[in-house]
Chains A and B, each alone.
Chain A
Amino acid sequence: MTVVLEVKNLQIAFGGVKAVDGLSFSVDAKEIIAVIGPNGAGKTSAFNCITGFYKPSSGAVLLYGQNITGKRPADIAAAGVSRTFQNLRLFPDLTVLDNVRAGMHLYGGQNWLDAILHTPRFKRSEAAYTEEAHHWLDFVGYSGARGVPIRNLSYGQQKHVEIARALARKSGLLLLDEPAAGLNYTEKRDLLDLCQRIRELGTAIVLIEHDMGLVMELSERIVVMNFGKEIADGTPAEVKANPAVIEAYLGKDDDEEVSARGDA
């Protein structure tokens, strides 16, 4: 198994607060890994460090063995990481298709002169962009209108488009930040199915998720964070049995509450 992503002792501090304090994990090809932890545990900060939006204060992020720590987000994306955001970050005034085309920017295939002169190369490339955009929308099971602005779409539809956009990047690693937030039961089942199909494409997935049912069913390994520290890393069964996790996150009193919220 090739190691896709390796995070080594990642740390970032905002002022005196250590948002991420010594996070280490690795992701193999086609693996699905969940990062869980209470709110404010530093999960999204860790994602932002991996994708270059924050510069980690120390530690290293290796992608296919190459050091990508502290590089520009665009360079990290080009190296093979794509992501979604916790609160949807689509382009609200642009059409659904254009949003998915954003993920295809690195395909190239035309330059500005082609565009001005409308060369055959340009027309071929535009047709390929459109076809590919439809393909990824079909892949995620998006069934709404595709030529309309994103702001006209429902929340669930927007989530689909955001995943389609990230998939169109065709990277070996996909980071999903709370993909199931705000979805109902059926939509969550669809998401589970979608993640399995993404894995079949050869893409490894790291997801942040609060829905324990989904996490336990989907992920091969779970990384648990609390107050920026990594407190556990193992299979779902191991994590469930880990006393530190139970104390910090799945504690006796919290157990009911967490599963109830997760299934809501």
Chain B
Amino acid sequence: MSENVDTTLAPRTTRPPASPISRLFESKQLGWIALAIALLIPLLIATPYSLNVMTTAAIFVLLASGLNIVVGYCGLLDLGYIAFMAVGAYTAGIIAKAFDLPLIFTIPAVIIMTVLAGLIIGAPTLRLRSDYLAIVTLGFGEITRITANNLSITGGPSGIFGIPGLLKIGDFDLQEPAVFYYVTVLVVAAFVLAAARLGKSRLGRAWRFVREDEDAAEAMGIHTYKVKLMAYIFGAVWGGFGGILFAAHLSAVSPQSFVFLQSALVLMAVVLGGMGNMRGVVIGALVISLLPELLRDLSTYRYLVFGLLLVVVMVFRPQGFWPARGYEPERMGDVSDRRLAKGTVR
């Protein structure tokens, strides 16, 4: 293997997609197929247990897609990402309970609070480079949890319970397990699509420039600090929405849900799936959240097997299941022909 060779500038062995299978995987319809599968699964298995597991997995996908903006696109290692979910869940829970409002009306407040949280954590720390940033975010994650554990407004160690549902109009209750699953899947799909589209925009490119070479990005007029802060804020908002769904799903929020292990698991989903590639990250998140449930038959050994599988994957696919490919179409067809005709090609 080539681990001992400096491969930073050597060509990778990745090739443009060629086989029909890889073409299917790269096709634009794949996301819709995945969404269709997610929406059809309850028709096959709709036990309360399976709905619960699948809803949890969908929320986990949302968290992973948010963290992918921060870690995968922008290259900022965040070890305390779950803090943003905590901010979202607590904000939604406290406001909904205090005013007896359906959770859906707490969305504006959650957006404001998570943007603020992103700014407060990001503004002082984003001047730091990789390793230092990781340690500081780890600290912030724990600070958030311990603060929630000690404040009375957050209900202390026992947290908040009896949080109202998302929305209820007459007999139609979004809290119904099957209905809530569909709502979650649709919300998560929208956020995953939005994150993927952001990744392919001017802002998404700026994030990648910062990840690849901060100085070169700066020399091109990209204000790297602002760009990093944007990544942080987007990640925070994604986490906040995860928090709303989480609060609605369990109708209770407590500090034990936001321990460091949760941050580590979300990060693992991003790394395992393939940093920077939203499709890979979705798969990574599904594996991380569903595998322990599928291994339930192994009872006490299931986390041992889970850990072993993760190690095996990282040995054979160090870039993750499905890393971001640096390929795009050569020419947009007529563009070059038109220019050739105009004679502007030199």
Please list the residues of chain A having a beta carbon within 8 angstroms of any beta carbon in chain B.
51, 53, 72-75, 77-78, 82-83, 85, 89-95, 97-98, 101-103, 105-106, 108-112, 114-116, 118, 122, 125-127, 129-131, 134-135, 138-139, 141, 145-152, 165, 169, 197
Contacts and interface: CB of A to CB of B under 8 A. Distances in A.
Nearest to B209: A102
A116 B224 CA distance: 21
Interface of B: 8-12, 16, 194, 197-198, 200-206, 208-209, 212-213, 215-224, 230, 234, 324, 326-332, 335-336, 339, 344-346
The winner among B16, B201, B204 for most chain A CB atoms within 10 A is B201
A127 B332 contact: yes
Contact of B197 (A72, A95, A118): A118
B212 A148 contact: no
B220 A165 contact: yes
A89 B209 CA distance: 11
26 contacts: A73-B218, A77-B219, A82-B219, A89-B219, A91-B212, A94-B209, A95-B326, A98-B326, A102-B216, A102-B222, A105-B220, A109-B202, A112-B234, A114-B201, A115-B198, A115-B201, A131-B339, A134-B331, A134-B335, A135-B339, A138-B339, A138-B344, A139-B346, A148-B16, A150-B326, A165-B220
Given A148-B326, A169-B221, A91 B213 contact: yes
Nearest to A152: B11
Contacts of A122: 201
Given A89-B213, A112-B201, A130-B332, A72 B346 contact: no
Contacts of B10: 151
Given A77-B218, A105-B221, A138-B339, A91 B344 contact: no
A146 B326 CA distance: 11
Given A72-B223, A97-B328, 11 more contacts: A51-B219, A83-B219, A95-B327, A102-B220, A115-B200, A115-B203, A126-B201, A131-B339, A147-B329, A149-B327, A150-B326
A79 B326 CA distance: 31
Nearest to B221: A77
Contacts of A110: 201-202
Contacts of B223: 72, 74-75
A200 to B, nearest CB: 11
B28 to A, nearest CB: 12
A139 B345 CA distance: 7
A197 B346 CA distance: 11
A91 B218 CA distance: 12
Nearest to A83: B219
Contacts, number: 143
B345 A138 contact: yes
A90 B332 contact: no
A125 B221 CA distance: 18
Nearest to B330: A147
Given A92-B9, A109-B202, A134-B339, A145 B330 contact: yes
Contacts of A95: 326-328
The winner among B212, B332, B344 for most chain A CB atoms within 10 A is B212
Contacts of A97: 328
Contacts of B208: 91, 93-94, 98
Nearest to A109: B202
A168 B297 CA distance: 59
Contacts of B203: 111-112, 115
A49 B126 CA distance: 24
Contacts of A130: 332, 335
Contacts of A145: 330
The winner among A77, A78, A122, A169 for most chain B CB atoms within 10 A is A77
A149 B326 contact: yes
Contacts of A82: 219-220
Contact of A134 (B11, B197, B336): B336
A72 B218 contact: yes
A138 B220 contact: no
Contacts of A103: 220
Nearest to A116: B194
A110 to B, nearest CB: 6
Contacts of B217: 91, 102
B218 A138 contact: no
Given A89-B213, A148-B327, A98 B8 contact: no
A92 B212 contact: yes
B98 to A, nearest CB: 31
B197 to A, nearest CB: 5
Contact of A146 (B215, B219, B331, B345): B331
Given A91-B216, A110-B202, A131-B335, A74 B326 contact: no
B221 A74 contact: yes
Contacts of A106: 220-221
Nearest to A112: B203
A236 B71 CA distance: 51
A78 B221 contact: yes
Contacts of B330: 145-147
A83 B327 CA distance: 26
B202 A125 contact: yes
